[in-house]
Structure 1
Amino acid sequence: MRTESQALADLGDLPLIDLASGGDLEAFDVLVARFGPRLHGYARRMLSDECAVQEVVQDSFVAAWRGLGTFRRDSSVQTWLFAICSRKITDAYRKRAPLPIGDDIDDHTAVSTLGLPYPSVSGGAFVDALEASLATLPPRQRAAWLLREVEGMAYQEIGEVLTLGAGAARGHYTRARGALRESMRSWQ
């Protein structure tokens, strides 16, 4: 016998939005569980401070909850949530203060920003070099690359997330890819 939570988990994104719009907290919890890790990964790659990352993801879901009635269905739920998160990341950049470098800078026991286990894979020099190269990209280029390569979004979706046209999103992605190719040349 299936529980109500299992039945909710089997629903698509739009029916969950409909239920959550009606005040169903469990339906919204399913959306948080479904998209939370991906939003966290995206924010983690865009921001260097884990506290800011957690705040951005939390603020994104609060804004989504408050904005359920404004979801227009002209984009996917994924695109809508990533767009909210992208705006919250921009807000975090505006209020960001320099962070002191601590003793934990080389802590490879932490969760990898690429979703890989540090001890066995991410401690490698290639991943470190890639993450360092990503960090040097301008925010929109980094976001376009991450949304395309990690999240598998189409240029149209990336444009919606970053409030750009599909062509501009493609341009940011192309410039990011070129910059990464150049900075990672020693790995080719």
Structure 2
Amino acid sequence: MDTPPREILSVTDHLGDRTLAAAAAMGERAAFETIVHRYGPLLYGYVRRMISDRDGVDDVVQETFIAAWRQIDNYRGESALKTWLFRICDRKIIDSRRVRYAEPIDDRLIDPIDPSADSNPAVVLSNTEFLAALERALAELPVRQRAVWVLREIDGLTFPQIGVTLKLSPGAARGHHHRAQSTLRLRMQRWQQ
């Protein structure tokens, strides 16, 4: 999709998700592009934490939005648009794994810390070590637990939204999150004060 100038998108930026989805279902490209701008960064962050191949991340996000564009007229507003997009994205991640199932998963939570951001070398080293330890601990979690933890703690979804996204009951999503939290708490004891 060609990206229109930002001033065109600003006309639709204030619209709610259901209005945007309805307009996109009628073929309104600017409405769908607003959806892409609104939720693209969230989806990109989620996919980046679930697969290791950087090119694969871009492909999965792009495939998610292509599928969403093709299926937008099926969106009925029964769940939040964000949840609907995450569900499509999760299926694309699974499809990607079928192709690249042997690749390890990279669970970076944030980009590496910029050493110039803090002049105290001990703080920079401690933060870097903490993030590396957290990445290792997340990589050891079962995939479903990791997905639930990332969706809850990083992307801020509720357990019902996570359940819809990953095709789990809210209770099962809560259980996966609890087990992930317990495992991470044990593995990260060194960092707890």
When normalised by structure 2's length, the TM-score is: 0.84
Whole-Å separation in 2 of the counterparts to 1:118 and 1:98 = 29
**Which one of 107, 114, 118 corresponds to residue 113 of structure 2?**
118
Q: Once the 2 structures are TM-superposed, how far is the Cα of residue 150 of structure 1 from its aligned partner? A: 0.9
RMSD after superposition = 2.1
Q: Once the 2 structures are TM-superposed, how far is the Cα of residue 114 of structure 1 from its aligned partner? A: 2.7
1:60-107 CA distance string (max 9 Å, x none): 00110011011121100000001111111111111115459xxxxxxx
Instruction: Please name the residue that 1:148 is paired with.
Output: 152
CA contact 2:22–2:73 (8 Å) conserved in 1: no
Question: Which AA in structure 1 matches 2:66?
Answer: V
Identical-pair percentage: 46
The alignment status of 1:67 with 2:62, answered yes or no, reads no
The alignment status of 1:7 with 2:2, answered yes or no, reads no
Question: Which AA in structure 1 matches 2:58?
Answer: Q
**Which one of 86, 89, 92 corresponds to residue 88 of structure 1?**
92
Which secondary structure does the structure 2 equivalent of 1:142 belong to?
Answer: helix
Whole-Å separation in 2 of the counterparts to 1:63 and 1:13 = 17
User: Structure 2: which 5+ residue stretches go unaligned?
Assistant: 1-6, 116-123
Instruction: Please name the residue that 2:55 is paired with.
Output: 51
User: Structure 1: which 5+ residue stretches go unaligned?
Assistant: 101-111
Runs of 4 or more consecutive aligned structure 1 residues displaced over 6 Å after TM superposition: none
